[in-house]
Amino acid sequence: MSSPKVVLAYSGGLDTSVAIPWLKERGFEVVALTVHVGQPIDLQAVRKKALASGARRAYIVDAREEFAKDYLRPAIAANAIYEGIYPLSTALARPLIGKHLVAVARKEGATHIAHGCTGKGNDQVRFDLSTTALAPELKVIAPAREWGMTRDEEITYAAAHNVPVAAKKSSPYSTDENLWGRSIECGVLEDPAIEPPEEIYDWTQSPLASPDQPEYVRIGFERGVPTHLNGGRTGLRSIVEQLNRTAGKHGVGRIDHLESRLVGIKSREVYECPAATVILGAHQALEALVLPRDLLDFKRTAELRYSQLIYDGLWYSPLRAAIDAFVASTQERVTGEVAVKLYKGSARVSGRTSEFALYSHGLATYSAGDEFNASSAEGFIYVWGLPSRTWAAVGEKKARPVAATVARFRRASR
């Protein structure tokens, strides 16, 4: 009887490398899968490492274009920002990786998928729920939730099983990277009273050391999708990659967040999201130019729920799909160009234009050429305030007899 197969989300790091012999010891044939979403890795070296660690086969999938098209694009349209600060970089990549895990599992006839997440983080939920939603027949194994090994014990275990992991003192920080951002946690960052040291940053230059002259970037949108950068038409992935470099050079995109994890833990997270910071700010500015107030207000409510769904691992849910449909309908006129000034850690919108702009100089100006009919304001205010006026008048009538009764009672009791 053949061994059951498990498809492992393989990063090439210590945890997932050790997971291969650990799973084999439990009777599984291990198939490794590495999904490239923008992390700085040598794909062929990672593949060789997976095979050297004991995997029967090792798949490599370059999903960067898919990530930009099918995950970043709707997230931009929905201004997906968790707790008003985190652009959901790590969270957005997990359902994509989960989708490919399921695809390889079905191709290989596997009964399980596995990942390297611990029992404290959010990613375990995202991987598990993606599997449940896409392939409820598959079971999930999370070795790091079960084995209870320290890092030193993992290194010892790796050496005993001929796993090619360099046994050296590691960085105290845990990082994750993709096109949309870089996350850093652990080490001194676990004390929220301590300022993040400069050594943790890789994508962004210190604002103190950034250029002394500002730099302007112009982002063109078509129906809510970034399509142009500084006048040149290019794909979304290319725009993101270029803005990560350009904005990062100016120290833009550093985020220090005390985050509310899904599992109930408060966690101090530091992110570098240069492109996300610039693009989302520009997109919101363009929406403010072309969408009416009631639609903007309602969309913000939907955006909040949408961001929570992504953070909570519910990408593959009917509600997320329904919100996507609503958001897509709001983007029909979100076309135009936004200029952003990058300087010393800040990204400020400096201008915006659109053929669908609701802004009218003739209506907004206080100078010559004013087209607004000020005489109509008095009638508008009267009608607009009629419910409040009626409410107050009725309340005053009811209050008079009560006040008279109280006054008579007080006189009688003297």
Find the catalytic residue in 17, 64, 89, 94: 94
pLDDT class of 64 with cuts at 50, 70, 90: very high
Does the annotation mark 56 as catalytic?
no
Residues 83 and 15 in one domain: yes
Residues 210 and 140 in one domain: no
Question: What is the mean predicted confidence (pLDDT) over 27-44?
Answer: 95
The span from the CA of 351 to the CA of 286, in Å, is 9
Task: Kindly report the three-state secondary structure assignment for every residue of 130-154.
Answer: HHHHHCCCCEEECHHHHCCCCHHHH
Residues 261 and 217 in one domain: yes
Domain membership flag for residue 274: yes
Does the annotation mark 123 as catalytic?
yes
The span from the CA of 210 to the CA of 232, in Å, is 25
Find the catalytic residue in 174, 238, 346, 350: 174
The yes-or-no verdict on residue 166 having pLDDT over 80 is: no
The span from the CA of 35 to the CA of 179, in Å, is 12
**CATH label of the domain that carries residue 47:** 3.40.50.620
Does the annotation mark 346 as catalytic?
no
SS3 187: helix
What tokens were used for 70? 């099918």
**CATH label of the domain that carries residue 223:** 3.90.1260.10
Residues 203 and 258 in one domain: yes
* Polymer length of the chain: 414
Find the catalytic residue in 47, 123, 183, 210: 123
pLDDT class of 26 with cuts at 50, 70, 90: very high
What tokens were used for 102? 């399921």
The yes-or-no verdict on residue 27 having pLDDT over 90 is: yes
Overall domain count for the chain: 2
Instruction: Report the alpha-carbon angle 72-248-12, nearest 5.
Output: 65
pTM of this prediction exceeds 0.85: yes
Does the annotation mark 174 as catalytic?
yes
The domain containing residue 272 runs over which residues?
A: 175-291+333-359
